[in-house]
Structure 1
């Protein structure tokens, strides 16, 4: 039976691609101040449907969103001397704030567990829709070990996770994955815990903890993370640890941008990173 939670997740997953496409199109064309009809055509929707969907998902009408980009661009250009386009791209899409009502308890497992390549460990895994497309979740007895978006497909995403711990036992349970997705994206009330069981090296876990500490409403650079973990000259190593983050969204590696303010490579696609930042900007 389809519950309200299932319907919300299915709808959010279906709408994600259209909104991501619209955000990318508006990000490229905002200087032309496109009208509603032009923006709707970029998604293949009617103007009425697009207006309702965009406003519900982003929290602003398309017109107000374009205005916010223009205003942010002018302000940042004046303050930082950056080009208007670069300033708008950054300021308009960098407003983290989605995690303020979640309490994340991160728990590291022993290095020996990882060294044995998962021997003796048992995982439940499953596929589920999310607000940012289909995802694969890996759940350990102690908590969530991985949340990976299904790019290009579910099997490839699972194979990537399986390769980290090939000796572990795996049982597929899509219903369990969907329940966790509801807990993560739909919320379980203020303070609802989302425990993480992080399998990684001590260095990686140190970087992942630093990501968890990025304040709502801010982004940071790889260099800043390196300074926080007391290795200011290791920005490249930090980048590798950020890229190895197994838990998308909850450990917000999408909030890390280049030192020049540009969006950089994201394991699950820059398009998705842009959509996440816009989603958080609306929540803020």
Structure 2
């Protein structure tokens, strides 16, 4: 074996991958935590069960705008208590604390999930050059090989006097690392950027912008432009869907609109229209 054939053993350890460098908290804070901005603190931990759980537990003592990120989540959760797992440093797993208070009626707080979807999709389209669509109510979709694949999700939970928004985004996962075949990642979608630091900055700046618009409109989804923008980017609208509702009931029809309360309006085969506020929505193929 010549010297050119020799190879150096790869370093071991969960944080050793040179393809997946750690986030740089000091740089992120300098860019995002500013006196006039929304974000008031930014903490990065190596591993935790769930950033949503951790941040919710401290919500009463923290000001609005706290951001908690984990390089790895071991018990990440999505809607309906589904698990969300990924290799360390392969994505963005973070939660933010928002406290709309009396600036927005509580009945409009449900729009925060959809707002986070709009903000994240907008940021990824601009910063990563990847067309990102929304699946009602909280999934982020990219197209890989002509098929829609879920690359991210959002979970909103009430905590103390505010809302904790959790965002999980697959960035560099390979096909072999995907938890399920229907999942995807920005890398698999041929993203122009997979460096997590600029992607995080783009998402948090977009979230700050949309949250500010929403607050200034008193949470009105129409006046803030949120309802129109969500509908424009929602891949669910116009599709034949099956809504799996609480209690085991199912509703099949065409997704026609997102109403003023953020509910998905479905028109059934007999022409009836029903607003779905909770449940799991499946995009159906023709003939299903």
Q: Does TM, scored on the shorter chain, surpass 0.5?
A: no
TM-score normalised by structure 2 residue count: 0.30
TM-score normalised by structure 1 residue count: 0.30
- Which protein has the bigger helix share? 1
- Which protein has the bigger strand share? 2
Which structure's relative contact order is higher, taking Cα pairs within 8 Å and 6+ residues apart? Answer: 1
